[in-house]
A and B are shown apart, each in its own frame.
Chain A
Amino acid sequence: MQMYKHTSNVRGHLALVAVIGMAVLAGCASSPTSTGNTSSPAASSAASQSAAATATSQCGTKPGVTATGTPIALGGIVTNEAGTSFTDIANMAAAYFACVNANGGINGHPVKYYIETEQTNPAQIAAEAKQLVQTDHVVGIVGNTSIIECSIDSSYWQRLGYDIIDSGIAPECWSTPSSAAVNMGPRYSSDGAVQYALTQHVSKIAFDQSNVPGTGYIAAGPAALAAAARVPITQLTENVPITNADSVAIREVDAAGPNGAVVLNFTPPEALVILQAAQKLGLEDRVKIWGCSTPCNTDFLAAALGPKWDHKLFVNAELTPPDVTNTPTMSLYRAILAKYGKAVSGGIGSFSQMGFTEAEIAVHALDTITGPYTVASVNAAFRAVSNFNTGMLCQLWTYGTYAMHIPNNEDYTVTPDNGKMVTAQGCTQISSVDPQIAAYRKLAGVAALAP
Chain B
Amino acid sequence: MPSWQDFQPFIVTGLALGGVYALSGVGLVVLYRATGVVYLAFGAVGAMGALIAWSVTNAGGPGWSGWLACVLFAAGVTVGYGMLFGPALAKRDPLVKATATLGLLLVLFGTMDLLWTTSGGESRALSLPTDNSGFTVGQIQINWTQVIGLAAGVVITVLTALFLRHTRLGTAMRAMANDREITATLGVPVRRVEAAAWLGCGVLAGIAGLLLADMVALDATTLTFLVISSLAAALIARLRSIAFTFAAAIVIGLVQNMLVPISSLSNYSDMTPFVLAAAALLVLVRRRVMTSSREES
- Which residues of A are at the interface with B, using a C-beta cutoff of 8 A? 7, 11, 14, 18, 22, 25-26, 29-35, 37, 80-89, 211, 236-237, 239, 241-248, 250-251, 254, 268-269, 272-273, 276, 280-283, 295, 298, 300, 304, 345-346, 349-351
Contact = CB atoms under 8 A, between A and B. Distances in A.
Query: Could you say which of A87, A239, A250, A300 has the most chain B C-beta atoms within 10 Å of its C-beta?
Result: A250
A88 B217 contact: no
A268 B217 contact: no
Contact of B119 (A22, A26, A272, A345): A345
Interface in B102-125: 107, 111, 113-125
B261 interface: yes
29 contacts: A18-B107, A29-B116, A30-B58, A30-B115, A31-B119, A32-B119, A37-B122, A80-B118, A81-B118, A85-B117, A88-B119, A211-B267, A242-B217, A244-B256, A246-B9, A247-B10, A247-B260, A250-B10, A250-B13, A250-B260, A251-B266, A254-B2, A254-B261, A272-B125, A281-B141, A283-B141, A295-B121, A300-B122, A349-B121
B132 A32 contact: no
Contact of A85 (B120, B226, B260): B120
A281 B9 contact: yes
Given A269-B219, A282-B141, A351 B117 contact: no
Interface in B1-22: 2, 6, 9-10, 13, 16-17
A86 B120 contact: yes
Given A22-B111, A30-B115, A33-B58, A244 B123 contact: no
A239 B55 CA distance: 28
Contact of A243 (B9, B118, B270): B270
Interface in B219-234: 219-222, 226
B221 A88 contact: no
B88 interface: yes
Interface in B130-153: 131-132, 134, 141, 143, 145
Contacts of A33: 58, 122
Nearest to B13: A246
Query: Which 5 residue pairs across A and B have the least CB separation, nearest first?
Result: A269-B123, A282-B141, A346-B121, A246-B13, A345-B119
A243 B217 contact: yes
Given A34-B122, A237-B267, A272-B123, A29 B219 contact: no
Given A14-B84, A273-B217, A32 B143 contact: no
B264 to A, nearest CB: 12
B278 interface: no
A244 B257 contact: yes
Nearest to B109: A82
Given A241-B222, A281-B141, A82 B113 contact: yes
A247 B221 CA distance: 20
A26 B217 CA distance: 23
Interface string B201-216: 0000000000000011
Contacts of A7: 88
A282 B132 CA distance: 9
Contacts of A350: 121
A298 B120 CA distance: 11
Contacts, number: 147
A204 to B, nearest CB: 15
Contacts of A211: 267
Interface in B50-79: 55, 58
A80 B119 CA distance: 9
Nearest to A297: B121
B125 A304 contact: yes
What range describes how many residues of B lie at the interface? 35 or more
Interface string B72-92: 000000000000100010000
B13 A83 contact: no
Contacts of B17: 244
Nearest to A346: B121
Contact of B123 (A80, A245, A254, A268): A268
Contact of B131 (A82, A280, A300): A280
Interface in B229-259: 256-257
B117 A243 contact: no
Contacts of B115: 22, 25-26, 29-30
A35 B58 contact: yes
A304 B126 CA distance: 11
A298 B84 contact: no
Nearest to B132: A280
B235 to A, nearest CB: 19
Contacts of B123: 32, 268-269, 272-273
Contact of A346 (B88, B107, B119): B119
A201 B123 CA distance: 33
A85 B119 contact: yes
Contacts of A32: 116, 119, 122-124
Nearest to A10: B84
B116 A30 contact: yes
Given A85-B120, A87-B120, A246-B16, 19 more contacts: A11-B84, A25-B111, A26-B114, A29-B115, A33-B122, A80-B118, A82-B220, A83-B219, A89-B120, A211-B267, A241-B219, A243-B216, A243-B217, A246-B13, A250-B260, A251-B266, A269-B219, A345-B119, A350-B121
B125 A243 contact: no
Nearest to B14: A247
A87 B118 CA distance: 10
Contacts of B121: 88, 268, 295, 298, 300, 346, 349-351
Contacts of A237: 267
A37 B123 CA distance: 12
Contacts of B220: 82
Contact of A247 (B88, B116, B141, B257): B257
Question: Chain A CB within 10 Å — which of B9, B55, B123, B220 has the most?
Answer: B123
Contact of A251 (B16, B124, B141, B261): B261
B124 A22 contact: no
Interface centre among B13, B88, B141 (most CB of A within 10 A): B13
Contacts of A282: 134, 141
Contacts of B111: 22, 25
A83 B118 contact: yes
B249 to A, nearest CB: 15
Contacts of B131: 280
Nearest to A29: B115
